[in-house]
Structure 1
Amino acid sequence: MTTARAQLHDIGGRRAWVIWVVAVTVYMLAVFHRSSLGVAGLIALDRFSITGTELAFFTVLQLVVYAGMQVPVGVLLDRYGSRALLISGLVMMTLAQLAFAFTTSFGAAVVARALVGAGDAMVFVSVLRLVSAWFLVRQGSMLAQVTGLVGQMGAIIAAAPLSLVLHEFGWTKAFAGVSMIGVPLLVATACLVKDSPYERSEVVRVKVRALANSVRLVWGNPGTRLGMWSHFTSQFSMTVFALLWGYPFLVAGQGLTSREAGVLLTVMTAWVMVSGVVLGRLVSVVPFYRSWIVVGIVLAIATTWSVVLLWPGPAPMWLLVVLVCVTGSGGPASMVGFDLARSFTPAESLGRANGLVNIGGFVASLATMAAIGVILDLLEPRGADFYTLADFRVALCAQYAFWALGVVQILRYRRSAVAHLERLHPGAVEAMKRGEPFVHPGFNDREGV
C-alpha cells in the first residue's frame, strides 16, 4: 500500500515551474544534439570520407538507439527517478558530442552518435514524469504539449545558428563549444530538480527478478497500448518528412529550390508549436475523446497527402504549405499518447508506460523511412540524383500501410480501454465524458489484461 507522505512544496507552485524550466531546457538541448548533424551533413561527408548512405546511417542509428532504449529507460526511471536520468543523459550527451567534435574516424563518430541517442532517450520521458508529479492533472495535458513544442526550439537552433557557427569556427570548435552547454545545465539539474513535491520520492525500488513481470503488467494494460498506437500512427509522417525524405521530395520531386524547401521545413516547425498549444487545451477539456482527436488528425494527414500525390504535376506552393502544416500536426497528436497512458497508469509505473508509448512513433518512423528508401531504390537503381516526382509518388504511398494499421489498432484498443475502465474503475468513463480528468489510483492484480 502507498504510505502517506508529507508535502513539502505546492503542486503547480513556484518550485514546480523552476523544475520544469530546467528540465525542459535539458530536453531542448537533447533535441538540439539530435538534430545537430542535419546542417553539418556536407561537412561530415568530407570530414569522414563517407557516402550519402553512410551519412544517413547516423540518423537511422540514433533513432534505433533511442527507440531501443525506451523500455530500459522506463524501468530505470521508475527505479531511480527523473533527476538521476536527466543527469545521466546530460553527461552522456555532453561527452558524446565532445568526442564527435574531435574524432575523424567514421567508426568512432558512429559510436559517439549512438551515445547521443542513448542520452537523448533518457530525457523526454523524465520530463514527462516531472510534469505528472509536480502539476495538476488538468495542467498536465497542456504542459506535455508545451514541453514538446519548446523542445522543438532545439531543432530550430540546430539549423541556422549552428550552421553559422560551423562555417565561422569549423567542425571541432563548433561541436566542442555546443557540447559544453550541457555543463551549466548539469549543475542546474543537480541543484534544482527534485523528483517529487513530497518528503519521500515516489521512486519504486523494483527488484531485478520482478522487472519482466512489471513491464508485462504495464504493457498488458489496454491504455498503454492505446497510447502506443496513438503515438505510432500520428508521429511517423512528420518525423520521416522532417528528418529524411521531406527535403528530397520537395527539391527533387516538387522542383523547389533548397531555400524554398528549407522555408517549408521551418513553417512545419512553427506550425507544430502553434497547433501543440491548441491541441493541449482541447484534450484537457474533452479527455474522453482524445483518441478520436488523434484519429481525426491522422485522417487529415492521409487526405492531404492523397491530394498532393494525386495532383497533376508538381503541387502549387499553397498546397505544399498546407501539407507541411497538416503533417506537422502529427507531432502534437502523438503527445496525446502519453496523456492517454497516464489515465491508465499510477505514478510509480509511469516511466515504464511512457517508455513503451514512446517506442511506437520511432518504430513506425524507422520502418517507413526504410520502406520508402527500398521502394525508391527499386524504382531508380541509379541513385538519388535520378529520383523523379513519379518515383516519390509511389514510394511515399508506403505511409498508407502504417496509417491503416495504426488507425485499426487505435479503434481496437479504444474499445478495450473504455471497457477496462468501466470494469475496474466505475465512474471513470462518466467523469471523463463530463470533461473531468481521471487520476489512476494504482494497479491491482487485474490491471494487466
Structure 2
Amino acid sequence: EDCLYLNIFIPDGSPGIKGYAVIFWIHAGDFSNGAPTDIEPFQVVFKQKIIVVTFSYRLNIFGFLSTADGEAQGNFGLMDQSAALFWLKKNINHFGGDENKITIMGHSAGAISVGLHLMSEEWSKGGYSGAIMMSGNPITDKVVRNPRSFSDSLDAISILFGCNRRPTSMLLSCLRKVDAKTLATNIPPVEWGPVIDYGLSNTSAHFIKDYPRKIFIEGNFQKVPILMGVTDMEDILSLVDDIKDTKITYNDFLQAVDEISKHDLKTSVENDENCTNSQIITDAITYIYPPQNEGVDILKKFVEFHTDRMYVAPLFLMADILSKDNEVFAYLFSVRPQSKLLDLPKWVGVPKFFDQIFIWGVPYMNNSNILNEWTSSDKKISDVIMTMWANFAKSANPIISNVYVKWNSFRAENNSILIVNQNFNSELGNNMFSVRFWNNYYPNLV
C-alpha cells in the first residue's frame, strides 16, 4: 500500500535566522483509523507563525500486526512515525524550520505514540526537543500488550483467508497476496496496537522494551519539556448510551462498577486468592464515589469514576514521574465551546476532542457550518490556547509571552495543574484522594 506522505504547513513571511519552531502532529484513531486530514492547522500556522507537519502512518493490521517473532515483530506504524520524524529533522531547514525546535504532539492514540517515542531508544532519540500529550498516556493499563496475546486473532485470520498458520513466514506470505482493501475490510475485529517487541527480531531494533509504566518509573526516557493534559469528561459520549436518560438507578451504578472490577481482576490476577476481592473493590469504589441522588447525580459520579480511573490518575502519575527530570506543564480542560455543536445537557463537561476545537482555532475557520454561532468568548479562549501551545513549541514555556495566565510547572509536592476554564486558574490538584486511590491502592487490590 502506498500511504506514507507528509504535509508541511508553513507560515508566510520570513522565518528569521534560526527558522520557525515545528509541531510534528501524530493523529488519533486507536491505531486503527484516523488520518492527517482530521485536523486543519491553518489558523495556528497563520496566527502563531509556526510550522505544523502532519503525516500518515500504517494502521490496523498493516501497522501493528505481530506474530511474536522475527517475521513480524509489530509496531510498524510507530516505526513509520519515527521515519517521518527523522526525515523532518534532516530536511525541515529547507522549509524554513528549525531542526532543533521540533515538538512531537498528539491526541489520544497520537498522545500515546508521543509517550512511546519518549521511551524508545534507537528509534526516536534526538529527533525532537519537546512533547505534548493530549487525552492519552502510555502508562494507562493495556495500552501496550504482550505480542502473544494476538495468537487467537492470528488463528482466526489464517482460517478466514485460507492461510497456513505456521510457520509464520508462510502466514505472512499468504496474507501479502490478499488485496489490501479486502484484507482491511474483512479481518475479524482485532484491536491491533503497540506491543513489547524486545528480543523478537535479530535484524531490526526493538521499539518497546517493556511495559511503559515500568520503563518510566525506572527513568528510562528522553528528558525533554512536557505539556500534557486531559478533558474533564473524556469518554462521556461513548460511555453513556443516552446522556439525556436520567432514570439510571444506584443499582445500575453498582452493577457497572462491579463489572469493571471483575474485568480488572480477570485480566490482572496471578492467582485465585484475589478473585474474592470483587466485592471489596466495589465497596472501595462506591466509598470514593458515593452518589447522593439517583438520576443525573449517578451519571455524573459514574463518568467521574471512569475519567479519574482512565485519565486523571494516569495524568498525575505520569506528570509525577516526568517532573523529576523535566519541566512539566499539566492541565485539565474544563471549558466547552458556547456554540451548540451537540445538544448536550448543562451537566456534561468537555468530551474527548472538544479541546481540539480551541487548539486548532476552529472558531476562526471560514468554512465552518456553524460560523455564525461562534462567540467572541470561543475565539478568545482559542487565541489563548493557540498562543500557549505555540509558546511551548517555541520556548518550552507556554506562558512566556502574549498571555496573562499563571501556569505553575508540575511538582510532586504541589500537584499544580492549569484548570482550563473561562478564568484559566492554576490550581492544586483538588482530587488527590481519588488519584491516590487509583495510583496506589487499587493496583494492590487487583
TM-score, normalisation: structure 1: 0.26
Higher strand share: 2
Q: Higher RCO, 1 or 2 (CA under 8 Å, sep at least 6)?
A: 1
